[in-house]
Structure 1
Amino acid sequence: MMKCILADDEPIARQILENYIKEIPNLELIASCKNAFEVIEVLQKQSPDILFLDINMPKLSGLSLLKTLQQKPAVIITTAYPEHAVVGFELAVTDYLLKPFSFERFLQAVYKVNTKNEATNTIIKEEKETPKTIFVKSDKKIIKLNTDHISHIEAYGNYIKIYTDRMILTPQTLTEFSEKLPECFLRIHKSFVVNFDKLKLIDGNQFVLQNEVKLPIGKSYRKQVIDKIDY
Structure 2
Amino acid sequence: MKTLQCIIADDEPIARQILETYIEALPHLEICASCKNAFEVLEVLQVKTVDILFLDINMPKLSGLSLLKTMQQKPEVIITTAYPEYAIEGFELSVTDYLLKPFSLERFLQAVNKVQKNVKEETKIISTDREEATTSVFVKSDKKIIKINFDEISHIEAYGNYIKIFTDKMILTPQTLSDFLSKLPDSFIRIHKSFVINFNQLKLIDGNQIILQNDIKLPVGKSYKKELLDMI
Q: For the residues of structure 2 that align with 1:180 and 1:31, how far apart are their CA atoms?
A: 38
Partner of 2:64: 62
1:179 aligns with 2:151: yes
TM-score (norm 1): 0.59
Distance 1:41 1:184, change over 3 A: closer
**1:114 is the counterpart of 2:126:** no
SS of match in other structure, 1:70: coil
CA–CA distance in 2 between the matches of 1:129 and 1:94?
Answer: 32
Aligned to 1:170: none
CA distance in 1, matches of 2:88, 2:54: 17
Q: Secondary structure at the match of 2:88?
A: helix
Larger Rg: 1
Where does residue 215 of structure 1 map in the other structure?
none
> In structure 2, do the counterparts of structure 1 residues 129 and 55 end up closer, same or farther at CA, with 3 Å as the change threshold?
farther
Structure 2 CA distance for aligned equivalents of residues 5 and 73 of structure 1: 10
- What SS does the corresponding residue of 1:179 show, helix, strand or coil? helix
- Name 1:136's counterpart in structure 2: none
Partner of 1:96: 98
Cross-structure match for 2:230: 220
2:79 partner letter: I
CA distances 1:19-57 after superposition (whole Å, capped 9, x unpaired)? 000000011101111111111111111121110000001
Compared with structure 1, are the counterparts of its residues 108 and 128 closer, same or farther at alpha carbon in structure 2 (3 Å cutoff)? same
Aligned to 2:159: none
| Equivalent-residue separation in structure 2 for 1:115 and 1:66 (angstroms) | 22
Alignment of 1:83-162 (within 5 A): 83-130=85-132
Instruction: For residue 100 of structure 1, give the secondary structure of its aligned residue in structure 2.
Output: coil
Aligned residue-pair number: 152
Q: SS in structure 1 opposite 2:116?
A: helix
Gaps of 5+ in 2: 136-149, 154-182, 190-198, 201-227
Change (3 A) 1:74 1:184: same
The Cα shift of 1:179 comes to: 2.6
Q: 1:39 aligns with which of 38, 41, 45?
A: 41
Letter in 1 for 2:231: Y
Superposition CA RMSD, Å: 2.9
CA distances 1:35-91 after superposition (whole Å, capped 9, x unpaired): 111111111111211100000011100000000000111100000111111111111
Cα offset, 1:180, TM superposition: 4.1
- What residue is the counterpart of 1:210 in the other structure? none
Matches of 2:29 and 2:40 in 1, distance apart?
A: 20
Which runs of 5 or more residues in structure 1 are unaligned? 134-177, 194-217, 223-231
AA aligned to 1:96 is Y
Rounded Cα–Cα distance in structure 1 between residues aligned with 2:75 and 2:26 = 18
Deviation at 1:126, TM superposition (A): 2.5
AA in 2 matched with 1:123: I
> After the TM superposition, which of the residue ranges 179-188 and 17-26 deviates more from structure 2?
179-188
Q: Is the 8 A contact 1:95 1:109 kept in 2?
A: yes
**How many angstroms does 1:183 deviate by?**
4.0
The answer as to whether partners of 1:8 and 1:57 remain within 8 angstroms in 2 is: yes
Query: Following the alignment from structure 1 to structure 2, what is the Cα–Cα distance between the partners of residues 21 and 187?
Result: 42
Q: Partners of 1:131 and 1:7 in 2: how far apart?
A: 38
Percent identity, please. Answer: 63
